[in-house]
Amino acid sequence: MAEVAEKGSISIHTENIFPIIKKFLYSDHEIFLRELVSNAVDATQKLRKLASLGEFTGELGDLTVEVSFDKKKKTITVSDKGLGMTAEEIKKYINQIAFSGAAEFVEKFKDKADAKDIIGKFGLGFYSAFMVADEVELISRSYKANENEAARWTCDGSTEFELKPAKREIRGTDVILHINKDSEEFLDEWRIKGILEKYCKFLPVEIKFGTKDESVEDGTDKDGKPKYKTVTKDRIINNPSPLWAKTPTELKDEDYLKFYKELYPFSEDPLFWIHLNVDYPFSLTGVLYFPKIKNDFEVQRNKIQLYSRQVFITDEVKDVVPDFLMLLHGILDSPDIPLNVSRSYLQSDANVKKISQHITKKVADKLQEMFTKDRAEFEKKWDDISIFVKYGMISDEKFYDKAKEFALLKNTDHKYFTLEEYKERVKPTQTDKDKNLVYLYTTDAGKQDTFVQAARAKGYDVLLFDGMLDSHFISNLEQKLEKTQLKRVDSETPDKLIARDETFTSVLSKEEEEQIKSIFEKAVNNTAMSVAIEPLSPEDLPVTVTMSEWMRRMKDMARTGGGGMPFMGSMPDSYNVAINGNHKIMQQILKAETEDQKVKLAKQAYDLGLLSQNMLTGADLTNFIRRSVELVS
């Protein structure tokens, strides 16, 4: 090594590259700490690898990476006990940005097993230090060096550097940042601790940052009760062996639940989880948890964290995870995704697309396995997981093809059926005159109970579709299922729900029908209501108020977003008022002595129809109650 200070210029390809690196390499300046700690961990991991390959025969000793700061001196230091560098290596790897320290390392060990695990980049990431520092010092001693042979490199953020001998008793590297005036916010214990916990929480080498006081048991008192004393211990901010880096066979359910609590301390236990472990055609590990979804599910997003070799990258994983699985929680780790990841990279990278497709397949396989292995248990979980499955079936053709085997439909008796099972169940009773299957459903069994009971009285089965995505799922099913229609139970009068050739004969003459229609139009007095006389069963309601299936579905979809016609959400509601000409109340109306009495009876029957649809409110409801008391009296 040189005995005197060597000065020179850093080898760069563009005059203006340094200011660009210094200011714009990363949009978030706190990333500098992630980069420097990652480099320190990388150098440590490389030394471990060399030892395992027999290339390093010395004592590994304590390999903890330490982060420290000095508020008075305005410095932050990252120290490791890894490979270290000679003066020549510093000149090559630090000064020559065009080259990466990984290039020579990989070349040397390319024929040895798992060489890809020791690839690191001591390059551009190091220069992120200049985003926050006026000057950077690097003191390093190589594992190959003679005793006390070390080198000190300094640079003030220009292209000029100084390299001279230094003293460092052990191998490894110290990176010392002299923090600039604009970045003094980072000279704070809790700020640094927060950054380390965010980005370095699961790095594979212990990271020490200061100390912490802990209360430990210290014998017993005279009554035999335990005594405690306070001891000071190193504050290790990371878990070097996170659950996802282990093999599934060595883990128990308790381990997965404990890790979930570590990630999401205030969440309910998850429903189940999927452990990902892929080597080819890309590398991917991780654990995805299925949480219990609340109605405010939008708040639940951004709960999947993306890592690269246990270094946190982002929780914006939209392009890595299929959209319908964005409500999952957990960790994904892939070395195929670089640390300085960008949205444009994620959107265009082929590996990222393969990862997304693989996650979809693994989720479908897991659900199929659960369904096949224990259907009763799967049915218990269905209400919680149905939102994932339905969203996936709507948005992903490949997922639909797999999910149609295990997706369940639930009826108002709370019984569950696969798509094929339900088709066979209703085929005998719910096939219309055109040979179409008609699935009846309710979106609120309580509010639509009158219509549900009317349908069931005719021997029909009614499905329960009361989820936030069901308006879209219904339309999706109708597109996918051959010769099948879906109708809400209150979208038609009972006999029109499933159109058949057989119909009831009207007991009213044409003249009486005209008279009844005229009376009801006066009682309804609303242009949004289209009045018509229908010959229905005498057992059906005297008046049924319905909205057409198409109109209701378009409005529901417009309200929940996506699909349909957005303008439908703002269009005024329009309803059909079906007057059951065969109901005995029509004879009472015709026999009433005065026109006012006829309209009052018609109004009462109409209000009953509105009431069954929960459409009678305010003054109309008050008047209905008064009129009911009067009629009873």
pLDDT at 108: 55
- Give me the mean pLDDT over the 73-93 stretch: 92
Judge whether residue 67 has pLDDT over 80. yes
Q: How confident is the model at residue 468 (pLDDT cuts 50, 70, 90)?
A: confident
- Write the burial class of residue 117 (CB in 10 Å: 0-12 exposed, 13-18 middle, 19+ buried): middle
* C-alpha angle 489-493-495 in degrees, rounded to nearest 5: 100
The per-residue pLDDT for range 198-252, each reduced to its tens digit, is 999 999 999 999 999 888 888 888 888 888 888 999 999 999 999 999 999 999 9
Cβ atoms 151, 140 nearer than 8 A = yes
- Residue 80 makes CB contacts below 8 A (sequence gap 6+) with 40, 41, 43, 44, 63, 65, 66, 172, 173
pLDDT at 499: 77
- Give me the mean pLDDT over the 102-115 stretch: 47
Higher pLDDT, 601 or 25: 601
| DSSP 8-state symbol, 270 | P
User: Could you tell me the CA-to-CA distances from 169 to 63, 81, 112 in Å, in that order?
Assistant: 15, 11, 31
Q: Give the three-state DSSP class for 86.
A: coil
Of 355, 63, 305, nearest to 204 by C-alpha is 63
On average, the pLDDT of the chain sits at: 84
Which single residue is written with the structure tokens 């108002």? 412
Higher pLDDT, 51 or 93: 51
Q: How confident is the model at residue 421 (pLDDT cuts 50, 70, 90)?
A: very high
Q: Which residues on neighbouring strands pair with residue 234, listed in sequence order?
A: 211
DSSP run (H or E) holding 593:
none
pLDDT at 281: 78
Cβ atoms 202, 307 nearer than 8 A = yes
Of 157, 184, 165, 164, nearest to 72 by C-alpha is 184
pLDDT at 382: 94
- Which residue blocks in 481-584 are alpha helix, DSSP H? 494-497, 510-524, 549-560
pLDDT at 113: 46
Q: Which residues on neighbouring strands pair with residue 533, listed in sequence order?
A: 579
pLDDT at 4: 65
Cβ atoms 301, 327 nearer than 8 A = yes
Q: How confident is the model at residue 18 (pLDDT cuts 50, 70, 90)?
A: low
Judge whether residue 131 has pLDDT over 90. no
Q: How confident is the model at residue 15 (pLDDT cuts 50, 70, 90)?
A: very low
- Give me the mean pLDDT over the 460-466 stretch: 95
pLDDT at 563: 52
Q: How confident is the model at residue 474 (pLDDT cuts 50, 70, 90)?
A: very high
Higher pLDDT, 217 or 416: 416
User: 3-state secondary structure string, 89-147?
Assistant: HHHHHHHCCCCCHHHHHHHHHCCCCCHHHHCCCCCHHHHHHHHCEEEEEEEEECCCCCC
Judge whether residue 100 has pLDDT over 70. no
Q: What are phi and psi of 235, to 5 degrees?
A: -90, 100
Q: What is the dihedral of CA 46, 51, 55, 60, to 10 degrees?
A: 90
The helix/strand count (H/E) of the chain reads as: 20, 22
Q: Tokens for 244?
A: 């996802």
Q: How confident is the model at residue 153 (pLDDT cuts 50, 70, 90)?
A: very high
* C-alpha angle 111-114-120 in degrees, rounded to nearest 5: 100
User: Could you tell me the CA-to-CA distances from 94 to 26, 127, 622 in Å, in that order?
Assistant: 19, 9, 83
Domains of the chain in start order, with CATH, are 6-209 (3.30.565.10), 243-371 (3.30.230.80), 407-497 (3.40.50.11260), 510-547+566-632 (1.20.120.790)
How many Cα atoms sit within 13 Å of 330 on the Cβ side?
Answer: 27
What is the rounded CA–CA span in Å between residue 337 and residue 339?
A: 7
- Residue 385 makes CB contacts below 8 A (sequence gap 6+) with 271, 290, 367
Burial 140-166 (b: 16+ CB within 10 A, else e): bbbbebeeebbbbbbbebeeebebbbb
